[in-house]
Chain A
Amino acid sequence: MRRQEDKGRSQEVQLLLAERPRNRFVRGSLYLLLALIMVSWTFGDLQVDELFSTHRLRNLNRFLSEVRPFPLHGKEWDWGVALSWAQEIFKREGLEATLSTLGISVVAILLAGFFGSLMALPAARNLACSEPFLPEIRPPPLRARVFYALLAPVTRFALILLRAIPEYIWAFILLAVMGPSAWPAIVALAIHNTGILGRLQAETVENVNPNPLSALRGLGGKRSQLAAVGLLPLLLPRGLLYLFYRWETCVREATVLGMLGFSSLGFWITDARARLQYDRFLFFVLLGAAVVLIGDFISAFLRRIVRKA
């Protein structure tokens, strides 16, 4: 009797299992993935041994020898000589390039923070409506309704355009317009990050606790006053976190953008590469990494202070 009941149950479970909802898309893509892996292993010309061929090994050897600081070519390694060589380059070009890299990133992120925050206001749907933070008291005129129906979507679209074009392309365009100086890099970084920060800040505005703001509206505050007196203090901590986070990226990008011919680290990296001076090349790459690391540390430090306040 008992056994029969168990059997009936296991049959029912089988039935339910067969009838369970299945996601065709997930299954299909799994099969496709499997098939692609098999095809690429069978027909692809990926040959692992090529990676370690003698030809490549020779290339690597030559590169490593050229990477040795110039005064030490063909000589015994000497830390003293290497260090004074590095010091020399740092004094001649490195320091200025480092400072200009940091300078470009700081000016760019300040501009992006300012314009991004400004554009976040019309991009936030809870603020860009005819009666922010309170219910509509009477139907607004048609003109106002059309205006507010369009304001947030249009601003958001503009922000998308700003950030859809990479910094590198912006800098390329601006270089043609503004001529070679640090400004194309600054403006390029500022434009791209305005798009990103504007979007992020708009989201924080839309997620703000509406109660304090509805109270300010209820006692007669204008939209601009709500933004200045209510939103600004409420959103400042989070806004600063985003700002510092994007600044880290800016430091990295400012290095890379130098490759277009601005006086940042990237410029000296391409310069050394063009002269086939691989020792200097490596030096500037490492210096760039150090600058990015320093930027990350400063940013992490500032973010911790903000979070505690």
Chain B
Amino acid sequence: MKGTSLELDGVSVQYGNTTALEAVSLSISAGERVGLVGPSGSGKTTLLRLLNGSVLPDQGDVHVSGSPLYTLSRTDLRRVRASIGFVYQDHRLVPNLQVSQNVIAGQLGRVSLLKSLRMMLFPSRVMVEKAHEILCRVGIGEKLFERTDHLSGGQQQRVAIARALFQEPQVLLADEPVSSVDPARAKDAVELLTRISREENLTLVMSLHNLDLAREYCERLIGLRRGRIVFDEPTSSIQESHFSELYRIGEGEMLADGA
């Protein structure tokens, strides 16, 4: 069975004096679709970055598919990273490459330098057709040979998703996949991610500002506030009160919290 389990074990992350995450533990089983919700600065992005090993916690452990991330050898870490697709909030594509090249770059973690150069400069027909197929799935097949920075923000978002899919990952992590598009497209993007994760049986973790979308498409929701987990429950048992608890910022409240 495809998909990979993820586990955080008492993880704390600090950036200078600010605590991004504090003693967070959770486990996500293979194939689960999880939404991270919470106000800005609550630690959603940090949590996602922990899962693909691009943030080093001050305390605690991260396990991907049962193996602890921080004791892996270089080659094993590379293999784990290659199996995790990450869709960034700001896309992080190479702007002056063709769309097809950005998508094909998703395979970098699995090939040698020589092969990756050949893939970028003289991709085989099979590879280009596969990139085209994935781009069609995300709805921008006709952009295959355009320069990436000539695309709109929403289209670049889709290229980023396509790159993550071309990676043939076990896990899909998405950081605010809808922040750069209008509400209608936002729904499309989230639907796309969930549909793909269902079809391919991928573990999906995405952070979402939009609570309605989170409730509609995720089977489990984790609420974060000030670096701590406020709730972690199946979507069916989430009440309105959970959200109001999460987002309560009364006046004077911040002062009281800070004290």
**Chain A interfacial positions (CB closer than 8 Å to B):** 134-138, 211-212, 214-222, 224-225, 228-230, 233-234, 236-237
Contacts and interface: CB of A to CB of B under 8 A. Distances in A.
B69 A229 contact: no
A138 B54 contact: no
B86 A219 contact: yes
Interface string B74-113: 0001110110111010101111110000000110111001
Contacts of A212: 92-95
Nearest to B119: A229
Nearest to A227: B113
Given A137-B56, A218-B86, A219-B85, A229 B94 contact: yes
Given A137-B70, A137-B77, A221-B108, A233 B116 contact: no
Contacts of B88: 211, 215
Nearest to A138: B70
Contact of A219 (B71, B82, B95, B113): B82
B23 interface: no
Contact of B116 (A214, A228, A237): A228
Given A138-B71, A228-B113, A230-B94, A216 B54 contact: no
B238 interface: no
Interface of B: 52-56, 69-71, 77-79, 81-82, 84-86, 88, 90, 92-97, 105-106, 108-110, 113, 116-117, 120, 163-164, 167
Contacts of A221: 105, 108-109
Contacts of A218: 52-54, 81, 84, 86
B235 to A, nearest CB: 28
Contacts of A215: 86, 88, 92-93
A215 B103 CA distance: 12
Contacts of A136: 56
Contact of B55 (A135, A138, A217, A224): A135
Q: Which of A135, A220, A236 has the most CB of B within 10 A?
A: A220
B105 A216 contact: yes
Contacts of B108: 216, 219-222, 225, 229
Contacts of B82: 219-220
Contacts of B56: 135-138
B96 A233 contact: yes
B57 to A, nearest CB: 10
